């Protein structure tokens, strides 16, 4: 254990993340929701995840395919068609649609908010001030990069006049505003740390 103020071993400062993902919540409703919007194969769903939902709910191929199996076993989705080379197209069952609607209307069942990035900020006093400032600078740069990425997505996605696109754009707008706030907040905190060190 390091004593307070002792040098901390090299830190990979650029690794900054502020995802608000809680691993205790399964992919169940993300997958169920996308299949409710449009039936598709596991591959189709993975591509839709990568192009839209990965910004709010990241998932790997193995996680997604595993969740599809669980949803099918629970009777929440079913195979609607089998195409060439055994390609299965999944669709939501009535039980799946009811489970999705139940979840959508019960935000009280969500797990508590957790953020690894904010936990790091809370504990920055345990590292030397120069390293803490480096972390805050990286935090701000990361937020700037994510903000630019989200703005590019907003400006280049061919949005349709559908409920799905309307709410997808609303979720993206939340990300844009959150990243702008995080960048602004990190710069405020940097100024405060400089002010404290000058006193």
Relative to beta strand 77-82, strand 88-92 is antiparallel
Is it true that domain 28-109 has CATH number 1.10.10.10? yes
The tens digit of pLDDT for each residue in 97-115 reads 999 999 999 888 777 778 8
| Predicted TM-score (pTM) of this structure | 0.70
Higher pLDDT, 48 or 14: 48
> What pLDDT shows up at residue 177?
95
CA distance 51 to 61: 14
Q: What pLDDT, in 10s, does the model give residues 47-99?
A: 888 777 767 777 888 988 899 999 999 999 999 888 888 888 999 999 999 99
Beta strands in 26-164 (DSSP E): 77-82, 88-92
Calpha distance 82→75 (Å, rounded): 18
4 alpha carbon, distance to own chain's centre? 33
Q: What pLDDT, on the 0 to 100 scale, is given for residue 98? A: 95
Residue that wins the pLDDT comparison between 13 and 182: 182
Please report which confidence band the pLDDT of residue 173 belongs to, taking 50, 70 and 90 as the band edges: very high
Position 4 pLDDT exceeds 60? no
Does residue 1 carry a pLDDT above 50?
A: no
Enumerate the domain spans of the chain. 28-109, 116-198
């Amino acid at each position: 254990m390091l004593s307070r103020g002792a040098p901390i071993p090299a830190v990979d400062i650029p690794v900054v993340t502020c995802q608000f993902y809680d691993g205790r919540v399964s992919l169940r409703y993300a997958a169920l929701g996308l299949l409710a919007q449009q039936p598709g194969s596991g591959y189709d769903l993975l591509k839709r995840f990568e192009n839209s939902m990965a910004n709010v709910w990241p998932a790997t191929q193995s996680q997604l395919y595993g969740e599809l199996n669980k949803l099918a076993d629970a009777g929440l989705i079913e195979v609607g068609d089998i195409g060439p080379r055994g390609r299965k197209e999944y669709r939501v069952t009535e039980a799946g649609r009811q489970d999705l609607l139940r979840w959508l209307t019960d935000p009280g069942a969500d797990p508590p908010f957790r953020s690894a990035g904010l936990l790091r900020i809370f504990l920055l006093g345990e590292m030397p001030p120069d390293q803490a400032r480096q972390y805050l600078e990286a935090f701000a740069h990361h937020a700037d990069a994510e903000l630019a990425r989200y703005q590019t997505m907003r400006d280049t996605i061919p949005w349709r006049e559908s409920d799905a696109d309307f709410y997808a754009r609303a979720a993206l707008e939340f990300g844009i505003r959150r990243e702008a706030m995080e960048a602004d907040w990190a710069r405020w905190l940097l100024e405060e740390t400089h002010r404290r060190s000058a006193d």
